[in-house]
Amino acid sequence: MDTFTAEQINQQMFIITGVRGSGKTVMMTEISQKLRENDQWIVIELNPATDLLKGLFIEINPRSDLRSS
């Protein structure tokens, strides 16, 4: 958790890899729950099976007309 909340985090990317069943999803769920508790973070969940840019826009712009489409 310290890695995700450390100073200078704004220009870093994290890639989490592992074999099937190694706990990647569980770990990311726990990390996102912890980060949601921190008011300095905005956690947005995107689905790679959908249009990622549209999904991101909708999440950061809650008044968007795209929300209903």
Q: How many domains does the chain have?
A: 2
Q: Say if residue 27 is in the same domain as residue 46.
A: no
Residues 21 and 47 in one domain: no
Token pair of 58 as six digits:
């909708």
Amino acid at 66: L
Specify whether 2 is located in the same domain as 34.
yes
The answer to whether the beta carbons of residues 24 and 17 sit under 8 Å apart is: yes
pLDDT in tens, 4-23: 666 665 566 778 899 999 99
CA distance 66 to 12: 30
My answer on whether 34 and 52 are in the same domain is no
Q: Is the pLDDT of residue 48 over 90?
A: no
Q: Kindly give, in sequence order, each residue whose CB lies less than 8 Å from that of residue 1, ignoring residues fewer than 6 positions away.
A: 31, 34
Shared domain check, 32 and 54: no
The model's pLDDT over 21-45, given as tens digits with 9 standing for 90+, comes to 999 999 999 999 998 998 888 888 8
Expressed as residue numbers, the domain containing 63 is 42-69
Question: 58 near 66, Cβ under 8 Å?
Answer: yes
Give mean pLDDT, residues 36-61: 86
